[in-house]
Amino acid sequence: MKNMHATQAVRGLLYKEWIKLRYLGLVPFALLLVGLGDSFYDMHGMKSANGGLSLWNAVIFRSHMPFEPMRYLPLFSGVWLAAVQFVPECFNRRLRLFFHLPVNEHKALFLILGLGAGLLSALVGILCLAQACITSLFMPAEAARLSILTLAPWCLAGFIAYAATALILIETSPVRRLWHGGAGTVFVLALVDARGYGSHIDGLPWFGLIAALWFATISNVLDRAKRGSS
Amino acid sequence: MATLVECDQLRHSYAGKQVLDGLSFQVRKGGIYGLLGKNGAGKTTTINILMGFLEPSGGRCRVLGDPSHRLRPETRRKIGLLHEGFTQHDFMTIAELEKFYRHFYPHWRPEVFTQLVQKLQVPASRRLSRLSFGQRSQVCLGLVMAQLPELMILDDYSMGLDAGYRRLLLDYLHAYAQEHGTTILLTSHVVQDLERLMDHMFIIQNGRLLYSAERGRFFESFRQWRFQRSPQSDRLEKTDVLTSVEHIGKHSIVCSFHDEAQVRQALLQKDAALEDWQEIPLGFEDAFLNLTGKY
């Protein structure tokens, strides 16, 4: 009986997320398509106009990144998805509706976060895979691998931005909101501001750990929001 | 009879201001209970504590056997809560709200919701954000009723509603409580509609229980008299016998829970001349205001 209730509750929560994300959740994917198209035509154009040597020259000696417009895409997507999911939950005391649902609020929160992070994972997965394919059309496999390693910190920035935005929206104290926003900005800028191919590769596991900590913190903030939501 | 809500010596303060100051009351199974008080009396804080949105700084509060700040999901499933201001997910349509909430309540009765919402004559595909406040109140009430809860809590149900929608809401509630035996606890600062509805009332003031009574007992025991105003009567103040004293035009008006003889004796002891003495029938709102004060 308990399992049946839990299954139904999960369906209910997924249904609500579907309503929130069904249209607005597509925006980052639409931007991804545009970005990938731009990357393809950049490399294709350079090779067609000036030959393969010119493309190699730009990439190796001038650190030209055909996928440069994608630098801020995971970051924007993280903020966007968190806002789409949590703004309708958190404003005008609506968090109380969430707290009154007959489900464990922490499990429900991680279901919502899991869904958002899953969508973001799908987006960065497509981004890395498609960019590697595009690069390998014009350059050897090593260059494709390097493009993925270059994209990785930007993708990680997207997850930190997602968690930080969720945290800011759930948080009830303005001072703490500022703190979360400031700390999130520092980490995200450190990751997306990297110049050149393969930056931050050595530090990626640490940044990954930081991203996980951001997610873990949300549970505590939810507790505080519940105890003090007035 | 089982006790569904038990508050004992509840205390809470915001930024040093004591909002609840030893509030105690019990809600037993069956009937409609009103938690009444003027603005700032502590009603919403009490509901926030009952629903676990606030942890009281002192005292004890249990709802359906659980400490109010640690309500289990199984317990929350038995409580239908109408949030103050009819807070609900605005981004959903009427149909989507019904579909969403039915997943969480095993005794969900879609026909209860549909019957109520059909009267609005708006399509189920209409978003909640596009409904008027009155229409929104019906949708929110329908969502709570369809849960078939054991305990229904309505936080300031009257806020923002005109007389028509307030009456409609109360008529539905009354019929629903009779049909399903649901225990209802409601708060409101608009009391004139509640006279016929409530079985029991708690009147709170300054965070304390001022008065608690079954329906009818209030009017049997709380009465009002008027007499000719005089310099002596102008000096009258509230006492244990005189619950309220007021002077309007040429008359002084007193209210009391004591019988007429005791009131007259208390007034005569203060040298008040009781010329033109007569009892004035009290309406519920007048009685409420005389008890809690107009200011």
| A69-78: pLDDT as tens digits | 899 999 999 9
pLDDT tens digits, one per residue of B187-230: 987 787 787 788 999 999 999 999 998 877 877 788 999 999 99
User: Tell me, what's the pLDDT at A230?
Assistant: 46
Pull the structure tokens for residue B147. Answer: 């849960």
User: Tell me, what's the pLDDT at B88?
Assistant: 96
Confidence band of A181 (pLDDT split at 50, 70, 90): very high
Q: How far is A16 from chain B (nearest CA, A)?
A: 7
Contact between A97 and B52 using a beta-carbon 8 Å cutoff: no
**Nearest residue on chain A to B77, alpha-carbon basis:** A102
Q: How far apart are CA A42 and CA A65, in angstroms?
A: 9
User: Tell me, what's the pLDDT at A1?
Assistant: 61
* B222 class by beta-carbon count within 10 Å (0-12 exposed, 13-18 middle, 19+ buried): buried
Contacts of B222 by beta carbon, 8 Å cutoff, 6+ apart: B243, B255, B256, B257, B282, B287, B290, B291
Q: E strands of chain B, at which residues?
A: 3-14, 17-28, 32-36, 58-63, 66-67, 79-82, 151-154, 183-188, 200-205, 208-214, 223-228, 244-248, 251-256, 278-280
pLDDT > 60? residue B246: yes
B99 touches chain A (CB under 8 A): yes
Contact between B54 and A92 using a beta-carbon 8 Å cutoff: no
pLDDT > 70? residue A187: yes
Report for A48-52, A183-187, B36-40: range of highest mean pLDDT: A183-187
B144 touches chain A (CB under 8 A): no
**Nearest residue on chain B to A105, alpha-carbon basis:** B73
- The answer to whether B87 and A92 have CB atoms below 8 angstroms apart is yes
Any idea what DSSP says for residue B255? E
Name the least confident of A117-121, B194-198, B261-265. B194-198
Contact between B83 and A96 using a beta-carbon 8 Å cutoff: yes
B202 beta partners? B35, B212
Contact between A226 and B45 using a beta-carbon 8 Å cutoff: no
Q: How far apart are CA B17 and CA B206, in angstroms?
A: 11
pLDDT tens digits, one per residue of B90-119: 999 999 999 999 999 999 999 999 998 998
User: Tell me, what's the pLDDT at A72?
Assistant: 94
What residue type is A178 in one-letter code? L
Contact between B53 and A96 using a beta-carbon 8 Å cutoff: yes
**Nearest residue on chain B to A223, alpha-carbon basis:** B53
Strand order in the sheet with B3-14: B17-28, B3-14, B58-63, B66-67
pLDDT > 70? residue B21: yes
Percent of chain B clearing pLDDT 90 (strictly above): 64
Contact between B101 and A94 using a beta-carbon 8 Å cutoff: no
Give buried/exposed letters for B200-212 (b at 16+ CB in 10 A, else e): bbbbbbbbbbebb
User: Tell me, what's the pLDDT at B160?
Assistant: 78
Please give the interface size between A and B, counted as residue pairs whose CB atoms are below 8 Å apart.
78
- Beta pairing, strands B208-214 & B251-256: unpaired
Pull the structure tokens for residue B293. Answer: 């004060």
Contact between B77 and A99 using a beta-carbon 8 Å cutoff: no
Find the mean pLDDT for residues A94-116: 95
pLDDT > 70? residue B231: yes
Q: How far is B186 from chain A (nearest CA, A)?
A: 17
Contact between B92 and A9 using a beta-carbon 8 Å cutoff: no
User: Tell me, what's the pLDDT at B295?
Assistant: 66
User: Tell me, what's the pLDDT at A51?
Assistant: 80
Contacts of A186 by beta carbon, 8 Å cutoff, 6+ apart: none
Q: How far apart are CA B65 and CA B5, in angstroms?
A: 8
User: Tell me, what's the pLDDT at B92?
Assistant: 97
User: Tell me, what's the pLDDT at A4?
Assistant: 77
Q: Is the ipTM of this complex over 0.85?
A: yes
Find the mean pLDDT for residues B30-49: 91
Find the mean pLDDT for residues B40-48: 91
**Nearest residue on chain A to B92, alpha-carbon basis:** A19
- Angle A100-A102-A104 (CA atoms, 0-180°, nearest 5)? 95
- At residue B273, the 3 state secondary structure works out as coil
User: Tell me, what's the pLDDT at B32?
Assistant: 94
B23 beta partners? B10
Q: Which residue in B79, B91, B99 has the most chain A C-beta atoms within 10 A of its own C-beta, making it the best mutation to test that interface?
A: B91
Q: E strands of B77-207, at which residues?
A: 79-82, 151-154, 183-188, 200-205
Task: Give the start-to-end residue ranges of the domains of chain A.
Answer: 2-228
- Angle B280-B284-B286 (CA atoms, 0-180°, nearest 5)? 55
Could you tell me if residue B18 is left (phi over 0), alpha (psi between -120 and 50 degrees) or otherwise beta? Answer: beta
Report chain A residues whose CB lies below 8 A from the CB of B99: 15
Confidence band of A229 (pLDDT split at 50, 70, 90): low
Query: B217 to each of A79, A146, B170, B195, B213, how far by Cα in Å?
Result: 59, 83, 21, 12, 6
Contact between B89 and A16 using a beta-carbon 8 Å cutoff: yes
User: Tell me, what's the pLDDT at A157?
Assistant: 94
